[in-house]
A and B are shown apart, each in its own frame.
Chain A
Amino acid sequence: MTAIAVPATRARRGLNSTYLTIELRRLLRNRRGIIFTLVMPPVFFLLFGTVSSYKTESVGHANVTAWIMISMALYGAILSTTSGGASVSIERAQGWTRQLRLTPLSPVTYVATKVAVAMVMGLGAVVVTAAVGMASGATGDTSRILVSLALAWVGSSVFAAFGLFMGYLLPSENVMQVLGPVLALLSFAGGLFMPLGDGVFATIAQFVPTYGLAEIVRGPITDEGVSMWAVVNVVVWGIVFVVGAAWRFRRDTARV
């Protein structure tokens, strides 16, 4: 048997615009997803952030309302990116990832597309929360607020990795039913919903994955600066999530 030369591969490389377009269309079709990521964070902001005293109280370069708006934008962004990443679990459960292995699509492109779509969702959450916030009394140094919002979006990529990791780890179709409450808990514990003060909770918070991001994202509008701990927190958790996601991803795509 003489093996013939491998023909030029017909696989396409890099991100594929048809895939991105269809994935974005799927996002818009998912009503429950939209409510969780685009409606809940601004509603939380309106409930907790628009007390009249907050509008006059300053945190340094913006009012408390802006501080809460930015926190909620970050919350919405991490909720979005986590659920975007975690959507791999649904697609694994439906056998879609297996089907993709019968096409030239590379698994890396698949994950890159999932992350790109998760980041679009995160951007949506940030923009909607900011629009509602700016229209409802959040004020301060606009350029600093914009830097904070941009940091919230970029930083939420850490949670896209978290979502991927969990999506590959948990074999469930409803992984967000677990991750939703987990994120809410992490957000409380990490000081995303309220200032931590100086007690034992503040000490615990330093080890929670949302803590570092919250500190860094709010840094520009406060005068406190960003602690070394916050940076270490984000870097360490980021490494944990990326390595975890890569480990599970390799396992998922390995030939058995």
Chain B
Amino acid sequence: MTTELLDTPVTGTLALDLRGLRKSFGTVRAVDGLDLAVRPGEVVAFLGPNGAGKTTTIDMLLGLAEPDEGTVQVLGLEPTSAIAAGRVSAVMQSGGLLKDLTVAETIELTASFFRGTRSPKEVMERAGIADIADRRVGKCSGGQQQRLRFALALLPDPDVIVLDEPTTGMDVEGRRDFWNALRADAARGRTIIFATHYLEEADAYADRIVLVSHGRIVADGSAAQVKSLTSGRVVSASFAGPLDEAALRALPGVQDVEVRRERVIIRTTDSDAVARHLLTATDATDLEIAARGLEDAFLALTTDHAESTGSIA
């Protein structure tokens, strides 16, 4: 399993450098040989269904969990050193806040753990929570709490921010406000990696999308590349005689060929080429072309095709 980025010569220190990561819980392999290199300034979406190993990977890159195998470096440092130095911070999915503190107290307190931070006032403004500074955390909505977590993550002015499914459980408005706050901050050249299972979120906010499934990376490319991947079509046709599957697979843009009794189903990004081939070079009949939904493409990539899909070039 290689990603395109690992093949290019790396200059300078990587923001994140994960190599051969493996982590099991009992008999469950949460992370199963994961390599990822993120350059400074990249905004990377870690996209995958629940249980793909996203949270476990994040725990390892924050030093909250120890890998069974492999190495993790954040800005060339051990994760715990990078945390202690305030160079990486994280926005976790839920919890982690004391309900009886106010928003401002939570920020003031967290700031006191670091030596030298940005001012509490500034991070509250950046995260869009300056107007609720005196509210008790327990009385804040899920979206407000998440923006508070984001404000806390901004305090040490880190080089890398890691977010674990930051918008889970938020309503549409909360989600939009949260991403706007993050977006405004990302313009400052910070490296951002966020886990999500929303394809739209990954597409809208990341420069690069890394698809994970069963603890491995199954695709890695720019948002545009992943989008083109998911914007393919499904061509299906009936056939009576023998069918040359290899010829179909060799057509440009074909991703997958599946035969179900007397019907062939082809997933492709170039449906015209497939249709032309089927109608001119084979005796296929009853041809159908259907748009391929995002979900379908996503599932195809992240369920049982882990071996067959490599990097998207």
Contact = CB atoms under 8 A, between A and B. Distances in A.
Interface of A: 1-4, 6-12, 16, 18-19, 22, 25-26, 29-30, 91, 94-96, 98-105, 255-256
Nearest to B19: A1
B17 A1 contact: yes
Given A1-B10, A95-B96, A96-B96, A104 B113 contact: yes
A2 B77 CA distance: 10
A256 B97 contact: no
B83 A95 contact: no
B112 A19 contact: yes
Nearest to B136: A29
A4 B10 CA distance: 15
Contact of A103 (B66, B98, B101, B113): B113
B66 A12 contact: no
Interface string B35-67: 000000000000000000000000000111110
Given A1-B17, A11-B114, A95-B94, 10 more contacts: A1-B14, A1-B73, A10-B114, A10-B116, A10-B156, A11-B115, A22-B109, A104-B114, A105-B113, A256-B66
A26 B109 CA distance: 12
A101 B84 contact: no
Nearest to B137: A94
Interface residues of B, number: 42
Contacts of A25: 105
B168 interface: no
A99 B96 contact: yes
B95 A10 contact: no
B81 A6 contact: yes
Contact of A16 (B17, B86, B99, B113): B113
A101 B64 contact: yes
B66 A255 contact: yes
B104 to A, nearest CB: 11
List the 3 shortest-distance A-B pairs measured between CB atoms, nearest first: A95-B95, A99-B96, A18-B112
A29 B109 contact: no
Contacts of B3: none
A12 B97 contact: no
B169 to A, nearest CB: 15
B124 to A, nearest CB: 17
A174 B109 CA distance: 24
Contacts of A8: 85
